[in-house]
Structure 1
Amino acid sequence: MTRALSSIACITLIFLGFSKVNGQLNSTFYDSTCPNVSSTVQAAVQQAIANEARMGASLLRLHFHDCFVNGCDGSILLDDSVNITGEKTAGPNNNSVRGFDVIDTIKSQVEAICSGVVSCADILTLAARDSVVALGGPTWTVQLGRRDSLTASLSTANSNIPAPTSNLSALISSFSNQGLSTQDMIALSGAHTIGQARCTVFRTHIYNETNINSTFASSVQANCPLSGGDNNLSPLDLQTPTTFDNDYYMNLMSQSGLLHSDQELFNGGSADSQVTTYSNNQNTFFTDFASAMVNMGNINPLTGSSGEVRTNCRKPN
């Protein structure tokens, strides 16, 4: 943790103009309308992680799964209703994404200080950054001004979010479809330095595939039997599962990636060089991750008069 924290001090980054939406979002969007929003979100995230360290990874993942479905618009937060089929039951999300109650708590606290001003999409984006920082990772300046969608897309959630069974080509394509580079993809995959995965999504990798360290596979098999135990959890990074560092890339180099899609980043392909760089230099990983998070947060936001600012993140106004 000390190594990671010491790196933060020299990596306070401001990234502007990274995407096609440059100029629509800005870091000072709420300075006059809700000046305490950032500190409010940060305090709530820190409390949630203090209650459960795993929550940091869950909040980061919520932001990712939101942005890959029609942009960073808070659509993943919408519950099913008579008029809306939400994204929570999509294959990549069902019994998997979590942290909705934490977002509800943050939203209620923000509404108490400035009602109807801050979007759920912006709260998700801030919470993702604050989660990374709370677990020892880099910080960056979050661009703000997103508005919330009025609807969701179950079908797009099923098709756009990359699967843990994806090969390298599919991963590159999936991120490219969102305007993200291969470098962004490899850096963002480093989010798997925190959090856990369910047995059902990595069973094939640890039992049937060859690009995996046999000792590592055996250690994980103890908690993920050939049948049953589908929801048993294993850390994505066995060494430091609640510390944001570069151990994920070190694991890949020793063929100890938990997911098939993880190990695809170091399997004799075009991503090997970048993985090697990150495994050797945590500061480079932190810098690239921060940049990639800004890029991801800029995927097709609703701005201006589009969408709305929901007062309840689970339903349109």
Structure 2
Amino acid sequence: MSKPNESSVKSLNHEHEHKHDHNHQHKATHVHNQPGAGHEDDHHGHNHGALGGHVHATGTKLKWAFLATFFILAVEVVGGSLANSLALLSDAGHVLTDVAALGLAWFAAVQAQKSPTLDKTFGYHRTGILAALANSLTLIIIAFVIFYEAFHRFQDPQPVESTIMYLSAGVGVIVNLAIAFGFRGGEDNLNIRSALLHVLGDAAASAGVIIGAVIMQFTHWYVIDPIISVLIALLIAWNAWKIVKETLHILMEGAPDDFEYDRLLAFVRTLPGAKDIHDLHVWSVTPERVALSCHLIVDPEGSLERSTEVIKQFKQYILKEFGISHSTIELEIDQCGCPGLLCPETLWESEKGVH
């Protein structure tokens, strides 16, 4: 099968626009006299302008954060070399990963603005998820490198230039806090949250370097330098692992943590005209974009108008209670062999001969 070209995409988009009603509701309902007769798809696509503006603002924040972090990197590399401080160079290593992280996140935000295509129907929003995963895995590797270097410093503590340490680290604290302030309001975006964790981790690490530098200046306990390095590495690894778990959950099509199946099932069973729900799938395209598909079993004696009302009320409920605006619903008058809310893998094989 040949790959769809750009002109065919535009043609389909043009045809799609003419199918919208005056209320800007995107619905396609097919009714026959067989089980699985009704099908309705709704993506509420008319908030794309607001989402597009949000994505553009995200890209701008990430761009300035990238440039500011690169400045911190230069300061700490020079300062760590002059001060002979593993703690400061460890922090610079962390900042180096942040430069890469923010660069990837910036790239991902730009990619997310691309329109969907026929072979990537959800668009490029998961570029940010992939960037967050790559960033976090890189941080875990850096943490182990710091552990290794700190082990050698414990065996042979080296004197450091404390004044250069806290001056260089002070620049890092100030700039990182300014970046974090600029990220306010974007915490729901996993890409932004991953970048924010990098920045806050840097600020905390730099603050630790300052404290250690002051202590070493007055006590000459140079073993504090590798101790601070280990603490920085633990902070890096812990935060990175949390992001790894969340990104893998999304890439495995996992449902949002706050989705309550029991509440949805209870609602359907009290919905006039609906009898039950099964073959339910809920997944996150990104943390902000959740999708749902299901089969709704309706009263076989009900009218087309009643079935349409069932779908309308169902969509209103999942939007209000769970924030799900993209859903695909198939109407049935029996369970098509699916025994419960979630259908077994074997049913996928049996349906190949049906569709």
Pairwise TM-score range, normalised by the shorter structure: under 0.3
More strand by share: 2
More helix by share: 2
Taking CA–CA contacts closer than 8 Å with sequence separation of 6 or more, which of the two structures ends up with the larger relative contact order?
Answer: 1
TM-score by length of structure 2 reads: 0.23
TM-score by length of structure 1 reads: 0.25
